[in-house]
């Protein structure tokens, strides 16, 4: 029997380093396959993006039909475009023993938790407001007005930290990666997972 995969949610304010941590986690050697969920969206495809790799690009009519069919673990409308996480696609990957990472915000996490209480939720937190602002400014991509908006949004997002199972303060990146890896491995070592993975072993140990 295939050991089911684990579903993880990672949320963080912009600038906390979540994307870098996910990338580093996936680049590590692992005892189990792990993937980031590919969301559905109604926004236009951008240069360099591929359908099915970066997003599943669908029309607004298609997306709204999927909403009616309750096909999403979570969805939201952002600046006039829909984004959503397919329930069927996630469940298919989990059934194959693949661990799945959802890169979504606290609101999406609330929706997923309602449908799948066993999900493991992780909040990535910056070490301080000053450091977060320094990281946002260091990107050199946004005006101070935009940075101020992101800082206000970050404070709003951080106010939901109590809703998550685990919190990682990304002060030292290497340590934060160790913490994230530990959480993933902890879920894989739970009794419910190990009993399935090593059923033959336990049958042998308990045989007369």
Between CA 63 and CA 61 the distance in angstroms is: 5
Tens-place pLDDT, residues 62-74: 999 999 999 999 9
56-82 residues labelled b (16+ CB within 10 A) or e (exposed): bbbeeeebeebeeeebbbbbeeeeeeb
Domain membership of residue 169 (yes or no) is: yes
Compute the mean pLDDT over every residue in the chain, rounded to the nearest whole number.
Answer: 93
Give the domain extent around 166. 7-37+97-205
Please give the model's pTM, rounded to 2 decimal places.
0.90
Q: How many domains does the chain have?
A: 1
Tens-place pLDDT, residues 142-152: 788 888 888 99
Domain membership of residue 26 (yes or no) is: yes
The CATH number of the domain where 160 resides is what? 3.40.50.300
């Amino acid at each position: 029997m295939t050991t089911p995969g684990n579903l993880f949610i990672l949320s963080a304010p912009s600038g906390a380093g979540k994307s870098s941590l996910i990338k580093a986690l996936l680049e590590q050697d692992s005892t189990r396959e792990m993937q980031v969920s590919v969301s559905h969206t109604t926004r236009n495809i951008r240069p360099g993006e591929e359908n099915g790799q970066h997003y599943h690009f669908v029309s607004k009519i298609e997306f709204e039909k999927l909403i009616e069919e309750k096909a999403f673990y979570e969805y939201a409308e952002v600046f006039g475009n829909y984004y959503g996480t397919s329930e069927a696609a996630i469940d298919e990957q989990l059934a194959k023993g693949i661990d799945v990472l959802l890169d979504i915000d606290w609101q999406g996490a609330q929706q997923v938790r309602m449908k799948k209480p066993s999900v493991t939720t992780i909040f990535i937190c910056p070490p301080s407001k000053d450091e977060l602002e320094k990281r946002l400014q260091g990107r050199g991509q946004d005006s101070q007005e935009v940075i101020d908006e992101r800082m206000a949004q970050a404070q709003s997002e951080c106010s939901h930290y109590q809703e998550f199972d685990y919190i990682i303060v990304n002060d030292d990146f290497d340590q934060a990666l160790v913490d994230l890896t530990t959480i993933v491995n902890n879920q894989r070592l739970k009794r419910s997972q190990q009993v399935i993975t090593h059923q033959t072993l336990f049958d042998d140990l308990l045989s007369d």
